[in-house]
Structure 1
Amino acid sequence: MSYQWPLEAKDLFAERYPQMVNAGLPAPDVDAVRAATTDMWADEPGGWVHEWSALAARYASAGSHDLAALAYGWARFPTLADGAKRAALARQTEEYLLAAPGFALPFRRDVLDLPHRGGLTRVPVHVLTPPAVAEKGPVLLVSGGVDSWKMDVHGLLTALCAHTGLPVVAFDIPGTGDSQVPMSPDGAEIVRGLIGHARTLGNGIVVHVGISMGGHCSARSGLAGEADAAIVLGGPVEAAFDGGRLARFGMDGIVGNALGFDRQPSPDDLFAALAAFSLRPLLDQECQAPMLVVNGADDIHVPQEDTLVFEGRRATEVHLLPDTGHCAVTRLPEVLEIISEWLPRTLSTLQAGPGAVEPAT
């Protein structure tokens, strides 16, 4: 199920241009696509998917499969609202796998069958392993956002490996990317299955790292004590699901598609569906794992309350960084340093076993 909705291409370029070039696409190429794109949905010259796909095809023909994967990622952006977008995702996957032999880290794509609603659902995961890893240790389980998926955040995945020295298992949250099911609160069952799988790849300790809506997932698995520890980067928790929070940059349509609507829902229907995602019931409990919560103070999608609500909780460290926005992406080196300082302390406590002193907050 999917649908198109009124969305201006120029608005997405205005918001996402830094992300496009910082991920590695040459600025002149992005500028050329931006100048040529006049419509968000038309699959023809001037249309978003057409212009981005044309750039990606040029990269592919030149053997630049990494750049082709990035460009096809933008072609399918922001969600799989039609056949052209789904075709772009298929091509992105092809180019990503062609680029994989040149990755700095050993890579493999596994396809899991995990429990969901009484049956099984297909969940592809990408595994990146630092070459220096000599024995089984903790594993990072990483979930991307509602519009930036595991292939789109490849640079962040490799940076996490480099900064932590740990393997990464990346997946698309329900309702996005390779997922076969809509986004819903019972998608937590899939995450539990992924945590169980990740335990078999290392020494049994799993740290769930979530980005944006993936941060909602890691907040949930941390608060529920299902992961051994959790890192939340810009995750919506409860306040973000209040009415009126999704009006900018097409986020209402992105989320509506992820939720499985087949036509544009009314604001009341959209927020009725989102209300079930509030983590307030888990916030009211005390069974959480150690958690690190980070976001930018100027986030336009996730209110500050969804970060500050974690202050003062047991075994929890909170950073609300000034002068940066959603997921603090413009201060990513600082975020990685925060993770690099918090994670060894936390893992040391976890590996020491019951009775160890919890990390300082």
Structure 2
Amino acid sequence: MSYQWPLVAKELFAERYPQMINTGLPAADVDAARAAITDMWADAPGGWVHEWSAVAARYAAAGSHDLSALAYGWARFPTLADEAKRAALAHQTEQYLLAAPGFAVPFRRDVLDLPYQGARTQVPVHVFTPPAATEKGPVLLVSGGVDSWKMDVHGLLTTLCAHTGLLVVAFDIPGTGDSQVPMSPDGAEIVRGLIGHTRTLGSGIVVHVGISMGGHYSARSGLAGEVDAAVVMGGPVEAAFDGGRLTRFGMDGIVGNALGFDRQPSRDDLFGALAAFSLRPLLDQESQAPMLVINGADDVHVPQVDTLVFEGRRDTEVHLLPGTGHCAVTKLPEVLRIISEWLPRTLSALPVGPGTTSR
């Protein structure tokens, strides 16, 4: 199920331009796409998916499969609202796999068959194994956001490998990317299945790292004590799901699509569905794993209180970085330093054996 909604391309470029550049696309090509695009949904000259796909096709023809995958990622952005967007995602996957032999660390794509609501669902995961990783080491389980999926955050994944020396398993949260089910609180069942699988790949110790809406799921698994430790980067936790917040830069339509609506929902329907995501019941418990919570103080999507609510909790470190926004992406080196310092300190203090943080 999917739908289109009123969305102004110029506004998306205004918000996402730094992300487009910082992930590796040449500024001149981004500027050219920005000048050419006049409509968000038309699959024709001037349309978002058409122009970005043309950029991606030029990269592919030149053998620059990594850049092609990035450009197709922007072609399918912000969500799979129509067939043209779904085709762009298929092209992105094709180009990403063609680029894989040149990745900085060995890579493979696995398709898992996991339980979900009494049935099964397929969940593709991307596995990165840095040379320093051992079969007996901890594993990072990484989930991306509601519009930036595992292929879109490739640079962050390989950087995490380099900084931590740990095996990384990346997945798309329910309702996004390769997922076959809508986003819902029930998606936690899929995450639990992923945690169980990931425990078989190393020592059994699993650290869930979540980015943006993926940070909601890592906050959930950390608060529930389902993982051995959790990192939350810009995750919406409670206040972000209050009515009226998720409306800027097309986020209401992005989230509405992820939730599985087949037409633009009313505000009451949208925020009624989002209310069920509040982690207040888990915040009121004491079963959590060690947690690192990070965000930018100027986040336009997630209010500061969703980070600060973790202050004072046991085994929890909180960083609200000034001068940066959602997920503190403009201060990524500082974020990675914080993670790299917190992670070994936290892992060394864990009780012996996986899952022992659960109470």
TM > 0.5: yes
Write the deviation string for residues 247-297 of structure 1: whole angstroms up to 9, x where unpaired.
210000000000000000000000000000000000000000000000000
Q: Look up the equivalent residue of 1:34 and give its one-letter code.
A: R
Cα distance in 2 between the residues matched to 1:110 and 1:161:
18
Q: Hey, what does 1:342 align to over in structure 2?
A: 342
The yes-or-no answer on 1:52 pairing with 2:47 is no
Q: Hey, what does 1:251 align to over in structure 2?
A: 251
Shift in Å at residue 133 of structure 1?
2.1
Q: Hey, what does 1:207 align to over in structure 2?
A: 207
Write the deviation string for residues 78-100 of structure 1: whole angstroms up to 9, x where unpaired.
00000000000000000000000
Task: Map residues 300-319 of structure 1 onto 2, 5 A cutoff.
Answer: 300-319=300-319
TM-score by length of 1: 0.97
Task: Map residues 154-173 of structure 1 onto 2, 5 A cutoff.
Answer: 154-173=154-173
Shift in Å at residue 134 of structure 1?
3.7
Q: Hey, what does 1:85 align to over in structure 2?
A: 85
Q: Hey, what does 1:229 align to over in structure 2?
A: 229
The yes-or-no answer on 1:94 pairing with 2:94 is yes
Cα distance in 1 between the residues matched to 2:238 and 2:83:
33
Shift in Å at residue 351 of structure 1?
5.2
The yes-or-no answer on 1:107 pairing with 2:69 is no
Helix, strand or coil for the counterpart of 2:85?
Answer: helix
Q: Look up the equivalent residue of 2:137 and give its one-letter code.
A: G
Say if 2:134 and 2:202, in contact at 8 Å, map to a contact too: no
How many aligned positions are there? 356
Helix, strand or coil for the counterpart of 1:250?
Answer: helix
Helix, strand or coil for the counterpart of 1:249?
Answer: helix
Say if 2:2 and 2:257, in contact at 8 Å, map to a contact too: yes
Q: Hey, what does 2:194 align to over in structure 1?
A: 194
Q: Hey, what does 2:22 align to over in structure 1?
A: 22
Helix, strand or coil for the counterpart of 1:210?
Answer: strand
Cα distance in 2 between the residues matched to 1:137 and 1:26:
37
Q: Look up the equivalent residue of 2:177 and give its one-letter code.
A: G
Cα distance in 2 between the residues matched to 1:134 and 1:292:
24
Cα distance in 1 between the residues matched to 2:132 and 2:305:
40
Q: Hey, what does 1:152 align to over in structure 2?
A: 152
Q: Look up the equivalent residue of 2:279 and give its one-letter code.
A: L
Q: Look up the equivalent residue of 1:12 and give its one-letter code.
A: L
Q: Look up the equivalent residue of 1:11 and give its one-letter code.
A: E
Worse overlay, 5-14 or 342-351: 342-351
The yes-or-no answer on 1:293 pairing with 2:280 is no
Q: Look up the equivalent residue of 1:110 and give its one-letter code.
A: D
Q: Look up the equivalent residue of 1:261 and give its one-letter code.
A: F
Q: Look up the equivalent residue of 1:149 and give its one-letter code.
A: W
Helix, strand or coil for the counterpart of 1:93?
Answer: helix
Task: Give ranges in structure 1 of 5+ residues lacking alignment.
Answer: none
Say if 2:135 and 2:201, in contact at 8 Å, map to a contact too: no
Cα distance in 2 between the residues matched to 1:351 and 1:328:
31
TM-score by length of 2: 0.98
